[in-house]
């Protein structure tokens, strides 16, 4: 069973490579080892983060749309702007 494979990234931003290399140097790792650690950390963070599901978002939007409109003036009537177009 193969546990490793080759991954080649084309068009990789030079600045990002430099940042990863700096991190690698600080952790006494190779560029490849540091990239793997960063990818693993990012994947774990993404997997553990709470992303609302579509039905939860729809429910929130439904509740929002059912709220009464308290002030029916247009936005320009609620917020006053100066001569430069900035809110007063």
pLDDT digits (tens, 9 = 90+) for 18-57: 999 999 999 999 999 999 999 999 999 888 777 778 888 8
Give me the residue spans of the domains in the chain: 14-67
Radius of gyration over alpha carbons of the chain, in Å? 25
Which token pair is 47? 């997997």
Q: Please check the confidence at residue 76 and state whether its pLDDT lies above 90.
A: no
How far is residue 8 CA from its own chain's centroid?
24
């Amino acid at each position: 069973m193969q546990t490793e494979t080759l991954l080649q990234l084309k068009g990789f931003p030079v600045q990002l490579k430099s940042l990863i290399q700096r991190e690698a140097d600080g952790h006494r790792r190779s560029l490849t080892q540091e990239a793997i650690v960063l990818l693993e950390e990012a994947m774990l963070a993404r997997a553990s983060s709470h992303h609302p599901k579509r039905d939860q978002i729809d429910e929130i939007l439904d509740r929002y749309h059912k709220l009464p409109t308290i002030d029916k003036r247009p936005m320009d009537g609620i917020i006053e702007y100066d001569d430069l177009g900035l809110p007063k």
